[in-house]
A and B are shown apart, each in its own frame.
Chain A
C-alpha cells in the first residue's frame, strides 16, 4: 500500500462550491504539506503543518484552508472554488529527525478542475 494517499484523485467542481481534498499517511511523520502544481510554475507551497497543533501558511494560502485532524491526516479545503484554482494538488510528508536534507514524500496528486 502507498505510504501517502490522496482522495479524490480527480475532481471536477463548479465555481463557488466548497470542496475538500484529503491526505493520509502511514509513514508516522509529524510534518505534512500541501502544494499545487501549475504548468511552467513548478510546485508552490499552500500550507504546512509541523505537528497536529501547528498550522502555517505557505506562499499561496489565499482561498484555501487546512485541517490537521490527526498526525496521519491533513485536509485542504477550497472555501469557494474559482477557475484559477484548477491545478494538480500534492500532499507531502517529512521526518525532522533526518536533519539536514530532510526528504519529502509525495502522494500521487489530485487533479482538480474548476468550471
Chain B
C-alpha cells in the first residue's frame, strides 16, 4: 500500500535559517505529491504540489522537487520567518489506482522559528 514517511519534529530554527524537512514515499502507482501546512488553530491548507517526476512545486518561498529515483519530496526554504511556524504534512495521492483524490499523509513535522 501507499505510505509517507517524514522526519520527526519538532524542528527549531532561528529566523533566516535554511529549512529542510525530509519526506519519502512508497506508492504502487504514479503518485502526485503534496505539502500541506497547518497554522495554529487552523485547518490544513495546500502549500505546494507536484504531479510528475522532476516537477518542482513552489509557493511562498518554499520549494520541493519530485524525485522518483529516490522516492522523495523534501521541503526547503532558504530563509524562514517566525510566521512560518506551523505543522507541515507531506502527502500523496495515487491517480492510477482509481482513488485519485484520496490522500495518504505523513505524521507531520512541527516547525518552530524563533527570533
Contact = CB atoms under 8 A, between A and B. Distances in A.
Contact of A42 (B93, B101, B105): B105
A100 B105 CA distance: 17
Contact of A100 (B4, B32, B102, B108): B32
A98 B100 CA distance: 10
Contact of B51 (A100, A105, A108): A100
Interface in A57-74: 58
Contact of A101 (B32, B43, B44): B32
A45 to B, nearest CB: 7
A105 B103 CA distance: 12
Interface residues of A, number: 25
Given A100-B95, A101-B34, A101-B51, A43 B101 contact: no
B100 A96 contact: yes
B95 to A, nearest CB: 5
A103 B32 CA distance: 10
B89 A102 contact: no
Nearest to B49: A101
Contact of A90 (B4, B34, B43, B46): B43
Nearest to B95: A100
A34 interface: no
A4 B43 contact: yes
Interface in B79-115: 89, 93, 95, 100-103, 105-108
Contacts of A45: 102-103
Interface string B38-62: 0001111110011110000000000
B34 A48 contact: no
B89 A42 contact: yes
Interface of B: 4, 32, 34, 41-46, 49-52, 89, 93, 95, 100-103, 105-108
Interface of A: 4, 31, 40-45, 48, 50, 58, 90, 92, 94, 96, 100-109
11 contacts: A31-B101, A42-B89, A58-B102, A90-B44, A100-B95, A101-B49, A101-B50, A103-B34, A106-B44, A108-B41, A108-B43
Given A42-B105, A94-B101, A104-B101, 9 more contacts: A42-B4, A42-B106, A48-B101, A101-B51, A102-B100, A103-B46, A106-B43, A107-B43, A109-B42
